[in-house]
């Protein structure tokens, strides 16, 4: 089982940028597809971005496509989410997650979750 810890959240003005990091423990990181999800108050957790085991394929929700970039470095056991041109509607707790099935969009397919990091975008 992989253990995930997110960092990099914070308060930023609309139009600003943040980079979230997710550090994974264990020696099997490269066997997991990775995803970022977010959950705003009163809303369901939603898929944001995903990357395949070796990082060759990436997937994004329509709401963040063109503004967010997911990347991973298996040698560093880390996955990042670079966010630019942030909007107030991006405000949420962001979670990274790992799954062994190389699926991305459904949160039920994920085996491990981090504790989350808060991103707040002011208008």
pLDDT at 42: 95
pLDDT tens, position by position, 55-84: 999 999 999 999 999 999 999 999 999 999
Confidence tier at 103 by pLDDT (50, 70, 90): confident
Q: Which DSSP string do the residues of 71-118 spell out, in sequence order?
A: EEETTTTEEEEEE-S--GGG-EEEEEEEESS---S-GGG--EE---EE
pLDDT at 86: 98
Two tokens at 6?
Answer: 């997110």
pLDDT at 27: 74
Helix or strand run (H / E) with residue 30: none
pLDDT tens, position by position, 13-56: 999 999 999 999 977 999 999 999 999 999 999 999 999 999 99
Residue 119 has pLDDT above 80, yes or no: yes
At residue 26, what are phi and psi to the nearest 5 degrees? 95, 165
């Amino acid at each position: 089982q992989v253990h995930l810890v997110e960092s990099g959240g914070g308060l930023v003005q609309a139009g600003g940028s943040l980079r979230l990091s997710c550090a994974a423990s264990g020696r099997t990181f490269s066997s997991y597809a990775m995803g970022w999800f977010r959950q705003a108050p009163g809303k369901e957790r939603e898929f944001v971005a995903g990357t395949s085991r070796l990082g060759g394929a990436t997937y994004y929700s329509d709401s963040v496509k063109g503004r967010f970039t997911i990347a991973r470095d298996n040698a560093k056991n880390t996955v990042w989410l670079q966010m630019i041109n942030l909007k107030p509607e991006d405000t949420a707790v962001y979670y990274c997650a790992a799954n062994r099935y190389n699926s991305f969009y459904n949160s039920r397919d994920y085996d491990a979750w981090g504790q989350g990091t808060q991103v707040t975008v002011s208008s």
